[in-house]
A and B are shown apart, each in its own frame.
Chain A
Amino acid sequence: MFVHFLKTTLRKFRRQPLFAVINLFGLATAMAVCFMIVLYVHSEHGFDRFHEQSDNIFRLSMHMDIQGDLRSEAVTSHAVGPDLLEHFPEVTGMTRVAGWNTPVNIWQDGRYVTSSQSMYAESSFFDVFSFKLLRGNPQTALTEPFSVVITKDFAAELFPGENAMGKMIRLDNRQETYMITGIAENCPSNSHLQFNLLRSYPTLREISSANFYEWDANINAFTYVVLANDADMDVLQQKTDALTHEKLNYKYEGMGVHIRLQYFPVKDIRLHSPFNHDMIETGTAGKVWVFSVIALFVLFVAGFNYVNLTIARSGKRAKEVGVRAVLGAGKDLLKKQFYFESIFMTAAGFLASLILVEMLLPFFNQVMQTDLNMFGAPWWLIALLAVIFTGLFGFLAGIYPSWYMSRFQPVKILKGEFWQMPGRFQPRNMLLLIQFVVSLALIVSTIVVFLQIRYFSRMDLGFDDKNLVVVLADNHENAQLFRHRMSEYPLFSEFTLTTSFPGGSLYVEGIESEDISPGIMAQRIWVDQQFLQTMDVRLDTGRFFVADAGPETEYVLINRAFERKAGWADAIGKNIGREGRTYRIIGVTDDFHMQSLHNEVEPMVIGVLGSRRQYAQLPVWVMIRFDETSSAEVLSILQEEWIRLFPDKTFNYYFISELISDLYVDDHSFGRLFLAFTLLAILIALLGVLGLSAFMARQRQKEISIRKVLGAGSGSLVFMMSAEILKWLMIAAVIALPLAWFYMEKWLAGFAYSISFPFWTMGASLLALLLIALLIVTFQSMHTIRKNPAEVLSSE
C-alpha cells in the first residue's frame, strides 16, 4: 500500500510540476525563514552558556547618580573585584578584564598584524570562564607581566606554520617584549567576551599608571564574580551596598552623588544588558521578540497559503477519489492516502528548505551581524523543526479533504458533487488583505530607504573623499618629518596637517564674540596652509592662511554654518575667541561634512597649526591625497616609511572614504533587512494570490463554462476572476499606503539631509503588485477558461 501511495504521489507531482514546484517553493521559503529565525533565537538565548559555571557568573555594573544625572556602566574600578572576593564568602571566584577597546599592532616578518580584539585579563580568567587553552597552563599563563595568550587563528596569522608557543612579540612598536604563554581555542561566536589576544593583568600595572586601590578611580574594568550556589542575592546586595558606602559613597555625602554596584547574570548579557560599551551588541531581546513574531507570522501565512492551494488543487481529484471509493477503498484508506500525500509533500518542502537555509544563511548573518551555522544547531532542534513543519503543514493540508471523506457518498462524488467548498470564507480574505497590506507597506518603505541611501551617497560632502588617507603623527614635528619623506613619492600629490578629519573625532568648544551671546558651540580644528587645497574645500569669502606670512596664529576662518548661526552678513574682520584670547576672522569656507549626514553641518572654527598652546592635547594627522591606485599599495608605502622613520611608534591610519562609508553601515544593513523582508512578504502574498485564484477558478468553473457558452470572451472572464482580488488589493492600499507614508516621514525626519517623501512610490508599488497579481490570476484562470465548456458541464 505504501508503494502505491508513493507512486501515486510522485505521478501527481509529475503531472503538475510547475504548480507543485511553486507551491513547494513557497512553503520551503517560509520554512527556511522560520528555520533561520529559530536558529537566531536559539543562538541568542545560548549566549555565554558554554561556561561550566555560567549560572553562577555575574558581572558587576555600576549605577551612578550624579546630582540627578543617572548613568549605568558595565565597568567598575579595578579595586572592586578583589575587595568583594575578600569580604564576601558568597563570592567564590573573581576575574577582571580591561583595555579591550584598544587595538594593538604587531610588526612581524615585515608586515603588520593587527588585533582589534585584545584585552588584559586576570590570571583567574580561565578559572572563571570555560575558554579552553590548547597549549600552556591555564593556572599560570597570565600570572607574569608581559605574558600573552593568543587564539589559535591569531597564532596562525602571526606565525604561519610555526608553533607560536614561547615566541616573543612586541606590541605597537613599544620597548617591551611579551612572551606567548598560551594558545587558546578561538572564541565561540556566542560569547559576549571576544578576544584573540590576552595580556596578563600584571602587565597593566607595569605599563600604565592605573590605580588599583580606589573604588572611584579608573572605572574601566569589567569585573566578573562567581557566586556560590546558595548565595542569597538580597543579602549579598545589602552587604555590597554597605561596602560601597564604606569604600566610596561616604566621600560624596552631601554632594548629591551616590553609587551602587549590582550583579548582572552573565548569561543575560546578550539579551538584556542595557549597558553601552560591550564587545558585542547587547540588549537584543527586543529584536529577538520581533523576529519571533515575524517567524510565527510567516509560518502562519505561508502555511495557510500552502494549505489553501493544496486544498483548492485537490478538488481536481473528485473523480479519482470517487472511483477509488467505488472500487472499495475504505474511508480510512482514502484518508491515509490524503495524509500521506500532504505529509510527503511537506517533507519534500522541508528538505528544500534545508538547502535554502544553507544558501541564505550567509546573507542573514551579514545583515544580522550574526555567525549562525545550520550544522551548529543541536540535532534535536532540527529534528523538532522537521517534525513540527512536516507534521503541522502535512496534517493541515490533509485535514480538510480527509474531513470531507468522513462524510462522503461515493455516488455524489461520481456525479462531481465532491467539491462543494465553503463559499465565502472570511479568514481567507482577511489573510489576503493582511498580506497585501504588509507587502505594500514594505515595498514603499524599501524604495524610500534605498532612495535615501542613494541620496546620501550622491550628496556633495563639500570636499572630495576619494583617494584621501590620514596617518597619525602625534605631534607637529613628526608630522612634518613624515610629510617631507612622503613628498618624495610622485604617487602622493597633496599634503596637509590637521587635528581632525571627516569621520574622525571632533573637538568642540564654546566660542564667544562681542555681538553674539551666549556663545556658539563650534568644532575647533587646526590645520596647515594646504588644508583647503588638499581636502578640496571651497572658500566662500576672504582668504585662507598663506605660508609666506609665517604662522598666522592670530587669525581664524569659520564655515558658513557658523556665519549663519551668528547671523552675520559679513564675518570678515570680526573677532571671536574664548577665555580672553581673540582671533580675527579672515575668511569663510563653504560647509563641508565632518560627520555623517544624519547630522547637520555644525559651526566650525579653523585655526592654523603653529603655536602648540592651543592644540597641545590634540594629535596631529598627516592627510595625503594620492593618485588613483590601490589602497593596498598606498598602505604598504606608508607603513614601510613609517617603520623606517619611527620604529617605536604605532602606525595608525584611516582611508577617509572607508571612514565615511562606515558612518552608514547601519543604514545599509537597515536597507538590506527591509529588502529581505519585502521580498519575503511579496513572495508570500503572491502565493496567497495564487492559492486564492486557484480556489476561485475551481469554485466558479461551471459559471465560467456557462458564460463562455453564452459568448463571454476570455478578457471579460479574466476580469471577472480578477475583480475579487483587485478589490482586496485596493482596500489594502487604503490601509497600507498612509501607514507607510506616516512611518517613512518619521524615519526621514531622523536625517538632517533627506529626500522628501516620494509619493510616486505609492502608485508604483500598487501598480507593481497589481500587475503581478493580475498576471497570476490570468495565468491561473486561463487554464479554467480554456477548458472545453461541454466537458465541464457534462461532468457536473
Chain B
Amino acid sequence: MIKTVDLTKVFRTEEVETTALNQVSFEIKEGEFVAIMGPSGCGKSTLLNILGLLDNPSGGEYHFIDNEVSNYSEKQRANLRKRNIGFVFQNFNLIDELSVFENVELPLIYLGYSASERRKRVEEVLEQMGIMHRKNHFPLQLSGGQQQRVAVCRAVVARPHIILADEPTGNLDSTHGDEVMNLLEELNKNGTTIIMVTHSQRDASYAQRIIRLFDGQIVTEDKSTEFVLTSAAH
C-alpha cells in the first residue's frame, strides 16, 4: 500500500541545510499498524508529513496506493489526501469556532457530500466513539481526551484507508491516552492502516511493527518485542 525507496528530505534555509530524511526505504502493507519512533529531531514528523501527502520529498520515490506521488502538485496531493488519509495530531487541531458536529463534518463538506448524508455519517461515527452527547459543544468546552476523540472521529468519518497520527497521546494523561489508543486499535482491527509517530513505548506496544529513526535514517525495523512484554504485563 505504501512503499518508499531512498526517500530523502532536505530543508534549506539561508544559513543551514538540514537533511531531515536520508534515503529512507520501507514498505507498509494494507491493514498494518506501524509505529515510528526515535529521538526528537530525527525526522519523524517530516516522514509522516510526506507519507500524509502534506509535503513532497526532495528525492527518492514514494508509492502511495500504486501511484508514484513524489512529484505530485499540491492540488493532486490534496485530492488523494482527502479521499484516503485521516489525520490525528498531538494538539488535536480542532477549529474552535465550529461545534463538535461541524468539526467532524468538515472533511465530508470538502468531499462534496450532501447535507443528509453528512448528518448520517457524522452521527454514526459520533455514536460509535461514544461522544454523541457532546455534538453541539465547542472544542474549548471539552477535556483533552474528548477533544482527541473528536479529532479521531474527524479522521475516520470519510472512511479513509490510512490514518496518520503524530503523537496522538502526547498531550493526554495515561488514562485518556489509553482510551485513544484503544480507539485506534479498534479501527485497525476493522481494516484501517495506521501509521503513528510516538515517543511512548507504551503506545508503541499497540503497533505490530516499529520503525526506528535516528538522524534521518532507519536504524531498525522490528516486530515489537515490547509488544510481547507489555501484553504479558496486562
Contact = CB atoms under 8 A, between A and B. Distances in A.
7 contacts: A323-B94, A329-B78, A330-B75, A333-B110, A414-B54, A414-B89, A414-B93
Contacts of A320: 95-97
Given A11-B97, A12-B97, A411-B49, A329 B55 contact: no
Contact of A1 (B87, B109, B154): B109
B24 interface: no
A1 B108 CA distance: 11
A411 B55 contact: yes
Given A409-B55, A411-B49, A329 B93 contact: no
A319 interface: yes
Interface string B106-123: 110111000000000000
Interface string B30-73: 00000000000000000001001011000000000000000000
Chain A interface category by residue count:
20 to 34
Interface of B: 49, 52, 54-55, 74-75, 78-79, 81-83, 87, 89, 91, 93-98, 102, 106-107, 109-111, 154
A4 interface: yes
A15 B97 contact: yes
A328 B78 contact: yes
A636 interface: no
Contact of A327 (B74, B75, B106): B106
Given A319-B93, A330-B75, A411-B49, 7 more contacts: A8-B97, A320-B95, A326-B54, A327-B87, A328-B79, A328-B111, A409-B55
A414 B107 CA distance: 17
A327 B55 contact: no
Interface in A405-430: 409-411, 414
B150 to A, nearest CB: 12
A95 to B, nearest CB: 69
Contacts of B75: 330-331
A39 B74 CA distance: 49
Contacts of B81: 326, 328
Given A8-B97, A12-B97, A411-B55, A327 B91 contact: no
Contacts of B106: 324, 327
Interface string A323-345: 11111111101000000000000
Contacts of B79: 328
Interface of A: 1, 4, 7-8, 11-12, 15, 319-320, 322-331, 333, 409-411, 414, 795
Contacts of A409: 54-55, 74
A1 B91 CA distance: 27
A409 B53 CA distance: 11
B219 to A, nearest CB: 24
Nearest to B83: A328
Contacts of B97: 8, 11-12, 15, 320
Contacts of B54: 326, 409-411, 414
A331 B74 contact: yes
A322 B93 contact: yes
Nearest to A1: B109
Given A8-B97, A15-B97, A411-B55, A330 B78 contact: yes
Nearest to B138: A11
A202 to B, nearest CB: 79
B143 to A, nearest CB: 17
Contacts of B110: 324, 327-330, 333
Q: Which of A4, A324, A326 has the most chain B CB atoms inside 10 A of its CB? A: A326
- Which 4 A-B pairs give the minimum distances between C-beta atoms? A328-B82, A328-B110, A11-B97, A411-B55
A795 B171 CA distance: 13
B137 to A, nearest CB: 14
Given A1-B109, A328-B110, A323 B78 contact: no
Contacts of B82: 327-328
Contacts of A11: 97-98
A4 B95 CA distance: 13
Contacts of B78: 325, 328-331
Contacts of A330: 75, 78, 110
A328 B81 CA distance: 7
Contacts of A328: 78-79, 81-83, 107, 110-111
Contacts of A411: 49, 54-55
A18 B161 CA distance: 44
Nearest to B55: A411
Given A4-B109, A410-B54, A411-B54, A323 B95 contact: yes
Contacts of A325: 78
Contacts of A1: 109
A328 B94 CA distance: 14
A11 B139 CA distance: 14
B87 to A, nearest CB: 6
A548 B81 CA distance: 115
Contacts of A327: 82, 87, 106-107, 110, 154
A410 B55 CA distance: 8
Contacts of A410: 54
Most-contacted residue by chain B among A324, A327, A328, A410 (CB, 10 A)? A327
Which interface residue of B49, B82, B91, B97 has the most chain A CB atoms within 10 A? B97
Contacts of B87: 326-327
B135 to A, nearest CB: 15
Nearest to A10: B97
A320 B103 CA distance: 11
